[in-house]
Copies of this chain bind each other. A is one copy, B any other.
């Protein structure tokens, strides 16, 4: 491994530099393995070895396997909310466009990264690790919920969205995304699928978004059945 010569003010001893790099290396290795094998099936020793250190070293930085996992979640998911929120604050366009943007950004920063595997992992193993489930609930689900809710509220406030039961409307946005993550990391990853059955995430998201905004029905039809009929 190449070690650049120490120069002037950034002359950090090799040992110290490693010390700073360790947590990150461990988190990366942990993310890979947790996503690949799940929480229970991932051995801490393997994580350590993937990061190029020994078992004991891992425990120098993370006091337990659960703490390691929480750190992975924080590093890859919850830590991002501030900037997501900030981006939304600045958004100036229509709320439908805002929603499109939200889902597109989500895809780039979560859905299309290894981080998506964490959600699959949580949903798969929540039952056996209540503490982790609670943590995820708090650190990811609730902020995510709030974020979506703000978008929907904005749409209603501006008269772009029809009045809705926010509590449940949130799931109309959430569910397709969660489904996509589950799918990608379960049946979607199955070699059994021939190409025709593969899901193209970009198209999937685009389609979901438009259906979500406009529904399946022809405008007229819709009115007939589920809304007040037009005045005769």
Distance to closest chain B CB from A129 (angstroms): 10
- The answer to whether the Cβ of A147 comes within 8 Å of any Cβ in the partner chain is no
Interface assignment of A152: CB less than 8 Å from any CB of chain B? yes
Q: How many copies does the complex hold?
A: 4
Q: Does A193 contact B (CB under 8 A)?
A: yes
In the complex, which range does the number of interface residues on chain A fall in? Answer: 35 or more
A213 at the interface (CB under 8 A from B): yes
User: How does the 8 Å CB contact mask read for A30-72 relative to B, with 1 for contact and 0 for none?
Assistant: 0000001110110000000000000000000000000000000
Contact, CB under 8 Å: B96 / A161:
no
**Listed residue (A94, A168, A216) with the most chain B CB atoms within 10 angstroms of its CB:** A216
| CB <8 Å contact, A217 and B214 | yes
Check A128 against B212 for contact (C-beta < 8 Å).
no
Q: Which residue of B lies closest to A99 (CB)?
A: B216
- Given A125-B124, A169-B211, A204-B171, CB of A162 within 8 Å of CB of B218: yes
CA distance A24 to B186 in the complex (A): 28
Partner of A152, one of B180, B203, B216: B216
A residues contacting B by CB (< 8 A) are 36-38, 40-41, 94, 96-97, 99, 120, 122-128, 130, 133-134, 136-138, 141, 152, 155, 159-162, 164-165, 168-169, 171-172, 174-176, 178-180, 182-183, 185-187, 189-193, 197, 199, 203-204, 207-208, 210-223, 225-227, 230
**CB-based closest 8 A-B pairs:** A215-B215, A134-B192, A124-B124, A175-B179, A126-B186, A168-B207, A133-B190, A214-B215
